[in-house]
A and B are shown apart, each in its own frame.
Chain A
Amino acid sequence: SMLLSHHRFLIKKLWPAIPIPDSKFQDLFTVYGGDFKEWLGQTSGSLWVTSPFILSEECPSPLEVLSELNLCPPLSS
């Protein structure tokens, strides 16, 4: 058993566990068939569907000040 643990030690030294990216994408290919959006939505607790805050178009209303109209002649446009 001395030999065995020494053997394990050597393996660990030469062949240590390495970090791999695969583990962070579990089920992406097996369950979701490579559909990243679907996988992301399911693993992140559902995402906003419409992303941008939609702002209605602002259309400024025309305006005249009556006292200004009386004082000045209308400008030709």
Chain B
Amino acid sequence: AHHESSDTRPAAPVLRLHFYHSSQGAADTGTLSYPPGDYVAEELCIDAAKACCISPLYYNLFSLFRERDKLWFSPNHVFRLDESASEDLFFRIRYYFPGWYSSGASRAYRYGVKKGSESPILDDYVMTYLFSQWRNDFVNGVVRISNSHESQEECLGMAVLDMTRTAKERQMSPLDIYHNTSYKSFLPKDMRNQIQDCNFLTRKRIRFRFKRFIQQFSQCRTTVRDLKLKYLISIESLEKTFYTETFQVREPASGQLIILVAADTGIQWCREKLKDSDEELQTLCDFHDVTDISIKQACKEGATESRLVTINKQDGKNLELEFPSLFEALSFASLVDGYYRLTTDAHHYLCKEVAPPRLVEAISCHCYGPISMEFAVSRLQKCGDKRGLYILRCSPKDFNKYFLTFPVEVFDTVDYKHCQITRSAAGEFNLSGTKRNFSSLQELLSCYQKETVRSDGIVFQFSKCCPPQSKEKSCLLICRSNKGSEVPLSLS
């Protein structure tokens, strides 16, 4: 999907795509390097997802982030990089759902084919990635942590978990790690400095109590996975900033505002001076209240950089927010758009300026996202398993595969076939078993819809597509921990 430079000699990499954790084990961080060329953010994300074992079902929780200016890129952003360019991007989890680890009353989950078949929002690969990302943010002080006594004890508790985890991974005893590495290196930068500022006796007391507890904790029966899980649960309760994004905007009527966006609370705002008090947060709207978002230049002398974002809502009203730059406006729009797809409608975008290219392509040929085989079969059953009916869907395992799923009658029962379509590196589509390649899914379908095909001796046609329904509940959609009762059940 990217254009290599026409020059054949190997160019020096100008784009480095970093991740916090790689599947290759040994190294804790990894990097992919790219020569000069044009790169679509979505394709870079897919490259990183493959390198980190993130499957298509979970990859829409991730986005690209630039640390330099703390900017998130929309999936359709194109990086145009010549020989003199230098770009460092991070593959990060952007969309986070509190309570994802719980199976109790306040759980957040992915919808199942039927009641009782709900599934977790993340798998272990995503959890491991989230751990590496948040650990980085925690230790390096990317997110400020309160210095209350309560928070400091939580941080020390997390350091115990982390030191024990490190010991298990290196097959050493936690006490060995304690002797080799200062316990302070497991704490946030700010807290390290605070401890450093204490007098000698206090420092010694803190160190002694930590050592004594690490010794006691090493008697615990536990696993690396559970230690990571507890670490993440602690971070979630410690500081919302880990999963809340804020934007500074101007609103025509109210002046300067801070906008906060998070999965459970939707879009909220507060006045600039009140940003530290929770009670003053007002809800602007939830994701499912939004019908579309548009971005246009704010017409103002001397402020050509700023952009006006209009959020149109279900109730017919709209909100106008002025962002200081186009990039911030796009970042905000892609955040709301991404949450909308995860909570409300997996096959729809709110803002064409930030729409993921692969989603636009999928919508044009009524292709489902990476739903499971069970869901595809259940959908066909609901449509009466009619002859010629088919579902086109992305593979839940492989970013470059699609399936055509359709019912066939075998004697008196209905069986389901799954024919595979492969997308080549050059972007060409081929239906397995056929000889022609097509430049789009749409062309491939319109060709074979006119043909008679045969599979295992059964002759049939793909005549009628069964498209995704608006707001259809599937494993692509997440029920948030606090919204379980509010969301009406699927109409299908």
Task: Give chain A's interface residues, CB within 8 Å of chain B.
Answer: 14-25, 28-29, 34-37, 40, 44-49, 51-53, 55-56, 58-68, 72
Contact = CB atoms under 8 A, between A and B. Distances in A.
B156 A19 contact: yes
B156 A47 contact: no
A29 B420 CA distance: 53
Given A19-B153, A24-B153, A55 B222 contact: no
Contact of B209 (A18, A24, A34, A45): A18
B318 interface: no
A40 B221 CA distance: 12
B217 A25 contact: yes
B226 interface: yes
Interface in B406-453: 417-420, 431-436, 448, 451-453
Contacts of B222: 36-37
A63 B435 contact: no
Chain B contact residues: helix, strand, loop or mixed: mixed
A24 to B, nearest CB: 3
B149 interface: yes
12 contacts: A20-B210, A21-B157, A25-B157, A37-B221, A40-B230, A45-B107, A51-B123, A51-B127, A55-B397, A61-B456, A63-B453, A65-B451
B221 A21 contact: no
Given A24-B154, A37-B226, A65-B453, A53 B205 contact: no
A56 B201 contact: no
Contacts of A60: 403, 418-420, 432
A61 to B, nearest CB: 4
B419 A53 contact: no
Looking at B395, B397, B433, which has the most chain A CB atoms within 10 Å of its CB?
B433
B446 to A, nearest CB: 14
A45 B420 CA distance: 42
Given A19-B206, A36-B227, 5 more contacts: A18-B202, A19-B152, A28-B220, A45-B105, A48-B101
A26 B96 CA distance: 28
Interface in B329-385: 372-374
Contacts of A63: 419, 431-434, 453-455
Contact of A35 (B213, B221, B459): B221
